[in-house]
Structure 1
């Protein structure tokens, strides 16, 4: 996978700092006040190399960044009546306990579509945004892809727990329900961020019970 970098802000009790978030679609990394953090989910960003920062420099919960706010924008593909466009997705994430609070806002066609400020994960927030879009307008990110799914017995995470089956497309299309997706799980190409996208994107089937929707069902219905 290639890498993308997104400009944003980090805020905590010590103030605000401009940051650059970098991702290859699987892992996220950023540098804050000279300290590198990385992780597979936005709520699991730990000091790179396992080296703890100076005591008191950051609030950490079980080793991961906490009690702070991350805000950034990223380009997001949107399909409008079959044509590909680039929209801007604004992300506002409060890393707090016991659960983070996430808000997404999609700027497209001169309008803003907002998820609200209390979403628990990126899949749910993107589904909310998709439900607000006009007919014929679809989000083109991994969360909406025909070849993505969650491990059936896994714990729902903030981000990055989405399995990509682009290397086993026909097998995934034929999978129905938790048992068959579980059997196929080792064939996945990896875990991806819900806001990531690639050239092999295909729109996920719509409608409850639609074939080819694996375990999690159609998008924007994320979890059965």
Structure 2
């Protein structure tokens, strides 16, 4: 996972709309330029201005973060189709940020072979779980959210990027059997390699199984 990915996107608020490009390292860095102002943050809902104080009439901020707008971006994601190998799907994200109530509305749409699979949730975890359940059984996502070596902290996480990768501690993570105890996620948490975005992937990807880690299988299909 080296270098930056470029995601074509669009910014819209009460002043108008313009095409933009997001840059991301797949971990905890997202950058873009809007109306000549450079923004950076760990997630799409924590983008702050880097070039001093931009004109207040041009943007709306909540505690330094960009709000009262619609952020849209597109990226590609590999999927595995049984009997056909790997295919490439497109993913469209649309995040509405409302101020002053500070409400967030994330819609994720995956497109494959002319079909659309859409989910609206507060974060990427739930949205991709829903999309994963809607996909035909023969189709599986290939991204960090679906990887055998990734997990979330029990106290929760933000709308994206809070996914811990344990690829550097596979032997330890294989023994993870819940929340607490000598092999619990809280005990082994300091051994995680880094944080990644749910839609990222590296060359050590392995499909997640039902008995792996604290958070369980992907996609989660409910209790039987």
- Counterpart of 1:125 (choices 120, 127, 135) is 127
In 2, the alpha carbon distance for the partners of 1:62 and 1:43 equals: 11
Equivalent residues of 2:133, 2:220 under 8 A apart: no
Q: Verify: 1:218 aligned to 2:202, yes or no.
A: no
Q: 1:185 to 1:223 in 2, by over 3 A?
A: farther
Structure 1 equivalent of residue 139 of structure 2: 137
Deviates more, 1:37-46 or 1:214-223: 214-223
Larger CA deviation: 143-152 vs 93-102: 93-102
CA distance, structure 2, for counterparts of residue 166 and residue 223 of structure 1: 27
Give every structure 1 segment of 4 or more consecutive aligned residues whose post-TM-superposition deviation is greater than 4 Å: none
Aligned residue for 1:169, secondary structure, equals helix
Deviation at 1:221, TM superposition (A): 2.3
What TM-score does the superposition give when structure 2 sets the normalisation length? 0.90
Q: Hey, what's the Cα distance between the residues in 2 that align with 1:41 and 1:182? A: 24
Are residues 1:53 and 2:57 paired? no
State the partner residue of 1:40: 42
Whole-angstrom CA distance in 2 between matches of 1:168 and 1:99: 37
Deviation at 1:223, TM superposition (A): 11
Q: Residue 156 of structure 1: CA displacement?
A: 2.9
- Write the distance in 1 (CA, Å) between the matches of 2:11 and 2:221: 29
Unaligned runs of 5+ residues in structure 1 are none
Separation in 1, partners of 2:110, 2:159 = 19
Equivalents in 1 of 2:206, 2:106: separation in Å?
26
CA RMSD of aligned residues (A): 1.8
Correspondence for 2:15: 14
What runs of 5+ residues in structure 2 fail to find an aligned partner?
A: none
Of 178, 185, 188, 1:184 maps to: 188
Tell me by how many angstroms 1:98 deviates: 3.2
* Corresponding position: 1:202 with 2:206: yes
Aligned-partner Cα distance in 1 for 2:167–2:50: 30
Normalising by the residue count of structure 1, what TM-score does the alignment of the two structures yield? 0.90
